Structure formats: structure tokens, C-alpha cells
Amino acid sequence: MDSSGLPHLDRRIADCRACPRLVSWREETARVKRAAFADWTYWGRPVPGFGPADARLLIVGLAPAAHGGNRTGRMFTGDRSGDVLYEALYDVGLASQPTAVHAHDGLELYGVRVTAPVHCAPPANKPTPEERDTCRPWLVQELRLLRPTLRAVVVLGGFGWQAALPAFAEAGWSVPRPRPAFAHGARYLLDGLELFGCFHVSQRNTFTGRLTPAMLRDVLRTAARAAELPTAS
Ligand code: SF4
């Protein structure tokens, strides 16, 4: 498949029902809702990646949030983690606006795609290893489709790192053994693909200062330059 296959892949992902616990959780969350979003019709389905099919930079998170992506149907959209991520992407020059409120808010990403190794919102933001492995073929297919243009990847957090490295190997990149360890600021080269580690943009990290706005922007700017994307100074 070439890059024209990515919209097709995204539609197939959105119909997936392979993980019984996650199907039940995402649909239950969509039924019950959070009071603040009572007038929303939740998406309640797997959330595909977001961004252009010829992206040079990929950002890999963990999984959609129950009242964020699972509500809006777009990755990192409608939750605090997404607010932090998209504001940083905007500041670095990789997004058209600093906010991500709903799927039709006009947000465009420039040369960047955002995805997750698990496409359904999990209870307590914790997918099981089995769910992570069940979802991996979707990430492998996405990586294969992006491969012609992809030059750099930022992985947010250790879970995403553990999930992504086997997917890179399956998609055709040489991943060394033992596998490179996750750390904030880690940088490895895999067959012409620059791989960066960054603490996840979760509230637990951003509220405590473990991940500061400057740290996030620094990783994103470095990765964008590695991918030869223009950045804002
Ligand atoms: S987590 Fe992935 S494999 Fe499991 S149901 Fe959702 S999309 Fe399908």
C-alpha cells in the first residue's frame, strides 16, 4: 500500500472491536458521559491517528482519553494532555492553532502525525499487555504507510516506547537488541529514522513539573529539525 492507503486504514481502525474489555469500556463511557459533556454525542470508537499521510515526524502517545479522544474522535483532542501537546506543536511551528477542541475545529498539523499504540480508551489509562499486543498490527500498518516520508519519531512515555519498538521492527526498521532504553531526551538512529524519547504529556507529569513546557518544546523542535521540517524560532 502507498500513502493513499492511510485514510482507508484509519477507517478500518475506527471499526475495530478486537478487545472486549476496551470495547465495553469505550462504549460505556460514551453512554454515561461526564456531566460537563452531557450534550455531546461521544465518538465511543477506536481513535485513528491524526495528521497528513506524508508526515515526516510521528508522535506516538499511549491511548485516547475516555473523555478526550473517545469523546471527540480525534487523537489528543478535548483533554488536558492534548492542550499541552498541541500548544507546544503550535509554538514550534508544526500546528495551525494552539488548541484542539473538537474534530472539526480547523486544526492542521504541518508534516506531523499523532498516533497511539492503543487506539481505544482504556480504564485508568492502563491497557493490558495483551491489549497492547492486539492493537500493534494497526501501528505496524500505519508505520509501513508512513515509511516513505517518515524521518523522526517522538515517543511519549515508557509505555509507548515499549509498544512502539516492536512495531518499528515489524514495519521493517532494524531495532537493536537489547532494545534501546526509554528516557526523556533519549535519541537513537534506526536506519535513517531518528527516534526520540519524551516524558508523556499527562497531567501527572505536567502538573508536577516532571515535564515542563520548555522540555517538551525542546524535544519537539529537535525532532522537527531532524525530520527537516521548518520550525518557528
Ligand atoms: S485497542 Fe486496538 S485492537 Fe483493541 S479494539 Fe481498540 S482498535 Fe481494536
Q: Is residue 231 part of a domain?
A: no
Domain that holds residue 100: 3-226
Q: Is residue 31 part of a domain?
A: yes
Could you report the per-residue pLDDT of 207-218, keeping only the tens digit for each? 999 999 999 999
Ligand 1 contacts CB of residue 135 (under 6 A)? yes
Q: Is residue 59 part of a domain?
A: yes
Q: What is the CATH number of the domain that holds 55?
A: 3.40.470.10
Q: Which of 10, 11, 19 to mutate to test the pocket of ligand 1 (most atoms within 8 A of CB)?
A: 19
pLDDT at 233 over 80: no
C-beta of residue 203 within 8 angstroms of C-beta of residue 81? yes
Ligand 1 contacts CB of residue 13 (under 6 A)? yes
Q: Is residue 233 part of a domain?
A: no
How many domains is the chain partitioned into structurally?
Answer: 1
Ligand 1 contacts CB of residue 121 (under 6 A)? no
Tell whether pTM > 0.85.
yes
Q: Is residue 63 part of a domain?
A: yes
Angle between helices 80-92 and 213-226 (to 10 degrees): 50
Which one-letter amino acid corresponds to residue 55? A
C-beta of residue 20 within 8 angstroms of C-beta of residue 124? no
Tell me what pLDDT residue 4 has: 58
Peptide bond into 166 cis (omega under 30): no
Across the range 154-176, mean pLDDT stands at: 96
Ligand 1 contacts CB of residue 10 (under 6 A)? no
pLDDT-derived band at 31 (thresholds 50, 70, 90) equals very high
Q: Which three cell numbers stand for residue 99?
A: 488548541
**Residue (of 139, 188, 194, 197) closest to 168 by Cα position:** 139
Q: Is residue 232 part of a domain?
A: no
114: DSSP letter = E
Q: Is residue 76 part of a domain?
A: yes
Tell me what pLDDT residue 3 has: 45
